[in-house]
Structure 1
């Protein structure tokens, strides 16, 4: 049922005002058509049966045509046909009103229909048609009715009443039309604002996506850089380890004997590295003799001498004897001049002399230990 009603009042037009007036036209035409059909039994009971039935049948057909025109969007044409048919029916019914002028006041209906179905200015045209229709209906009256005082007074007051109704209808229709126009403008502005907002949102989303992609790319680049830096740091640490090993080379030349050739300047950092590395190797190899070769040391001062003494003392605590070799004449003079006491260290002029000294000492020690073993 609802679908049928929606189909009946559907108007084929893109204009919303035409659609609104078309729906009203269809509803009014359907109502008048039903009213005309409902009056058929009433007309059969009057003395004007034939003429009344003809009028009602023609009106019903006209109203059905108005419904079709409304559905096709021909609202103005359909409205004028509806109003004209209504005027004809009212005018034609005046002679059948038992000489009573009540039918004149039904002329208000076409004026009211014009206010809701046509543009406001058309109300005045319909008013003129209503006055003309009243005159035609008056002319169809019998002579004795036209001469009656009641009809003459009604014919004088009816146009005045119709004019007042037309004025009120015109003002109401004009106000309604302006309000609908303002609403349409507001709706159009709202749609434009909504479209602009949608465009802005789309643009904003695009910018956000671009920014997100840029940030993601930057983050990927930073991770790549961080990975490279980590790899570089690990490589640098490995290089530092190699450099540290090369800075303090420790050479095992026999079981229990380590040779440490020291080259270059010895500062506090390198002295600490020398001490820690040497003690680790002494522990690892169980060394009993450490040969410190300072042939390659450019300058030996108090600080360097103190570092060498610390190394010898630490090695002694771990059970290893320290032999200092490679003391050049100028280094010996500098140490004497500085008053450095190296009497706690065994010394030799060259590495070869030091190694020979270690070999002689061991031979003597073995010869001294042999009689004891024989006695035992």
Structure 2
């Protein structure tokens, strides 16, 4: 604006003061550009508005005429609209009105010379060029803003697409992991079921083995024999008593022969268990005969002072059968 207004200044009767004012304004503009480049855009915008308003406001005081000068106030408003914000436009309008009012009070009382045709044309051309430049800057800024917005939108769409792909990949991975976890869980359940079946089979075999460890054989219709092999603990004695009582009840036998040939030793607990077995058998109407007592077992019984009570004793199975033990 300072450069373009030189033709208007040169046609004035005394152009030197106005040229000096233009150079001063140009210096302020350079300083304002430097302020904007360091990031103080808001302060630079306000400074530019002040320089523009002051530039047209002081013209009448140097030329002693107002003429077409007040119309330059629109330059500050348009500039604020292009490079600033709403508050800058309001500020520029207020400053422009204040400048024009100041011109009126400052030079209205002085003699005024009507602007010549050349001044009107120069002012019109100057305003057209200045407004064109400002409009071009604004249009370029708007186009640049649209390009940046378009690029940002394109980038956002790309990021959204990448995010959607990442989410899809994550969902696929979660589904894959879930399927693998379900397969592992199903396999674990199958293994647990197999283990439970194996434990059940083991328990069944264990019961069968326990039952085989205490077999009961029928020698005659009224006589049963139960061979015991190995150490007699509480569990085996309880099992022997259970199986013996069940067999006597089912067969109506009157005699139970307990063969202890395979028992290596007999302690107090085992002797008490045999005595309890004899009493239980007696309650069912049968008698218990102990056969196959080894010398070691006999010494243990005597040494412990165990009274066999109702328990009969035979040398071996043949002796017990031949003697006709029956109750």
User: TM-score normalized by structure 1?
Assistant: 0.53
Structure 1: gaps (5+ residues):
1-148, 363-376
SS in 2 for 1:323: strand
Structure 2: gaps (5+ residues):
1-114
Q: 1 CA distance for matches of 2:145 and 2:220?
A: 113
**Shift in Å at residue 164 of structure 1?**
2.6
User: TM-score normalized by structure 2?
Assistant: 0.60
Q: Is the 8 A contact 2:279 2:310 kept in 1?
A: no
For each residue in 1:206-236, what CA deviation from the matched residue of structure 2 results, as whole angstroms up to 9, or x when unmatched? 2112211211221121122122212211220
- Stretches (4+) displaced over 6 A: none
**Shift in Å at residue 249 of structure 1?**
0.5
**Shift in Å at residue 343 of structure 1?**
3.3
SS in 2 for 1:344: coil
SS in 1 for 2:253: coil
- Count of aligned pairs between the two proteins: 213
**Shift in Å at residue 261 of structure 1?**
0.4
| Equivalent of residue 127 in structure 2, options 155, 161, 165 | 161
Q: 2 CA distance for matches of 1:318 and 1:160?
A: 138
Alignment match, 2:295: 329
SS in 1 for 2:191: helix
- Which deviates more from structure 2 when the two are superposed, residues 212-221 or residues 278-287? 278-287
Q: Is the 8 A contact 1:328 1:349 kept in 2?
A: no
Alignment match, 2:323: 357
SS in 1 for 2:145: helix
Q: Which has the higher helix share?
A: 1
**Shift in Å at residue 192 of structure 1?**
2.5
- 1:194 paired with 2:141, answer no
- 1:230 paired with 2:190, answer no
For residues 116-195 of structure 1, what are the structure 2 equivalents within 5 Å?
155-195=121-161
Alignment match, 1:219: 185
Q: Is the 8 A contact 1:326 1:351 kept in 2?
A: yes
Q: 2 CA distance for matches of 1:163 and 1:256?
A: 139
| Equivalent of residue 257 in structure 1, options 223, 237, 248 | 223
- 1:299 paired with 2:265, answer yes
Q: Is the 8 A contact 1:262 1:293 kept in 2?
A: yes
Q: 2 CA distance for matches of 1:328 and 1:156?
A: 148
**Shift in Å at residue 153 of structure 1?**
5.7
**Shift in Å at residue 163 of structure 1?**
1.0
RMSD (CA atoms): 2.1
SS in 2 for 1:352: helix
Highest RCO, 1 vs 2 (Cα 8 Å, sep ≥ 6): 2
SS in 2 for 1:358: coil
**Shift in Å at residue 340 of structure 1?**
0.9
| Equivalent of residue 213 in structure 2, options 216, 241, 247 | 247
Alignment match, 2:175: 209
**Shift in Å at residue 358 of structure 1?**
2.4
